[in-house]
Amino acid sequence: MKLTEHFQYGLNSPICLTWELTYACNLACVHCLSSSGRRDPRELSTAECKAVIDELQRMQVFYVNVGGGEPTVRPDFWELLDYAVEHDVGVKFSTNGVKLDPARARRLAGTDYVDVQISLDGATAPVNDAVRGPGSYATAMRALENLASAGFGQPKISVVMTRQNVEQLDEFKAIADKFGAQLRITRLRPSGRGADVWDELHPTAEQQRQLYDWLVARGADVLTGDSFFHLSAYGSALPGLNLCGAGRVVCLIDPVGDVYACPFAIHENFLAGNVRSPGGFASVWRDSELFAELREPQTGGACRSCGHYDACQGGCMAAKFFTGLPLDGPDPECVRGLGEQALAARTPSTAIPRSDVDHSRSAPRNSRSAVALTLAPPPRRPDRACDASPLAGMPSYP
């Protein structure tokens, strides 16, 4: 069996596990996939987080993507980071940089098995701050400077591609090069508060093509995860995870311990269980009915007859779900324009699901319009198979 087929049917442990440690955040990004802002009083305690790390170690989960909210605003964040590293669970954490002062940067530079990803959604302050809030560009730049001065080896700069920043791809690359960082670009999905702004902010069809061409020409060392496999339908397959791995190789543990099929699918339909239940995370991952269903062979539905299906696989489940499109039909950003047609064919009675998990401090929901902002190389590195290529670092199967 080919390795990609192993992925389709699920693995004993997730290789792309995201763990959101808190819903608290100092920012209020308009497209936040988890609608973060306020801490949830039910969030896992320090002891419960350590128990989850113990379990991940037993399951041989080699690294975890830690996010939030803003994970570093948890007072026990640094303690949990050290605990994970001591227990052979590498950590790549996403941050807006608010806590990365020179001292923290030096400490991180001296810690193996930790990777840092700074979020930046504009190569200039006006473009970034329109999405992430006033002052957030300066905060991210300061954090990158502190990491560079401390000698931290190759942090990541993570960019959500929007209609406003596709034109800045070369500038993002230049910023990454300047700080000795690696660029990671991801897709804007209509998840969380992203649902409110997706219509206005997701790249146009022309920009999708521009993005694809840029990745083909300049993207050799740019990370994309599973963001753009639907664009492979334009021609050659892009590097990255070329399938929807939800529930198969991908999943999310949210701050209250709920386990979802994917970080972009925080909705009861994709809720598989909770790490606090008997058997913990391992039992949810291995035994949940939802994950068993997602690991079944997919029919491809309306996309099956498309000549691009092998490359595109019908696109992203979450993008379809949160735009009210059938899960077995085209992606809303289908390169053949079939998604746009399906979106246009929706009627006022079409049900467009929304997550009922919302910790926004003050967010108008269902506004469907952009909202104004209210802000105030170590020896061992984490395996980043899901970022670079599903085959990276994995054994080959006959």
Q: Report the interface residues with ligand SF4, using CB under 6 A.
A: 226, 230, 233, 244-246, 250, 262, 264-265, 303, 306, 308-309, 312, 314-318, 330-331, 334-336, 338
**Shortest Cβ 181–ligand SF4 spacing (Å):** 23
**Which tokens in the block code for residue 246?**
């939800």
CA atoms within 13 A on the CB side of 43: 20
Nearest 5°: phi and psi at 339? -70, -45
| Other CB atoms within 10 Å distance of the CB of residue 118 | 24
Q: Which of 264, 25, 24 lies closest to 139 in space, CA to CA?
A: 25
- What's the CA gap between 53 and 390, in Å, rounded? 23
Element (H, E) at 95: strand 90-95
Question: In what helix (H) or strand (E) does residue 292 lie, and over which residues does it extend?
Answer: helix 289-294
Cβ 233 to ligand SF4 shortest distance, Å:
4
How far is it, in rounded angstroms, from Cα 82 to Cα 84? 5
Contact 114, 69 (CB under 8 A): no
Q: How far is the CB of 35 from ligand SF4 (least distance, A)?
A: 16
Q: How far is the CB of 99 from ligand SF4 (least distance, A)?
A: 27
- Least separation in angstroms between residue 105's CB and ligand SF4 is 30
Residue with smaller CB distance to ligand SF4, 69 or 330: 330
* Terminal-residue alpha carbon distance, the chain: 7
Q: How far apart are alpha carbons 171 and 137 in whole angstroms?
A: 14
CB of 54 to ligand SF4, least distance (A): 26
